[in-house]
Amino acid sequence: MYKLTLVPLFALFSLISAIPEQLPDKIDKLEKRKPYNGEGLLYFPSVVNASGTLNACGGTNSDSDRVAAIPSAVFDESYCGKKVKIQRGDGYGEPIGATIVDQLECDGCGPSDLGLSPALWINFTSFNEAMNPINITWSV
């Protein structure tokens, strides 16, 4: 009886110990590729934070650059310079690409929210301030 249960258990253990070598990276990437549905918030790259104008990617941008800040829950430096594809949550208009240059850190920001520079934000809202935040879906 014991032998019968021990063998599969052993096989299971060796399987489990093999998993951490291989899977987390793949799960991580799949997780990151999923489309997010959240709020697009007006974000000013020219005034990133009180400590300076350097963004989390170590660069500077103006508000007329069409750039985005991804949530700090998702951000790591490998995202710097990558494209994010953004579409209005209501499906209106075409998806628009923007470059990731920063992480979004603010009170009340959710892990699926995205910071949109003014130049990018107007592409979705046509300057309608009532549309800040705007419901969006986005993926990297």
Give residues in contact with ligand NAG (CB under 6 A). Answer: 37, 48-49, 51-52, 54-56, 89-90, 96, 102-103, 105, 122-123, 135
Q: Is the dihedral of CA 8, 10, 12, 15 positive or negative?
A: negative
Beta bridge partners of residue 49, listed in sequence order: 52
Comparing CB distances to ligand NAG, the nearer of 25 and 68 is 68
Residue 104 CB, shortest distance to ligand NAG, in Å, is 7
Residue 32 CB, shortest distance to ligand NAG, in Å, is 20
Residue 74 CB, shortest distance to ligand NAG, in Å, is 14
Residue 88 CB, shortest distance to ligand NAG, in Å, is 8
Comparing CB distances to ligand NAG, the nearer of 37 and 128 is 37
Comparing CB distances to ligand NAG, the nearer of 24 and 81 is 81
CA 113 – CA 106 distance, rounded (Å): 10
Comparing CB distances to ligand NAG, the nearer of 15 and 130 is 130
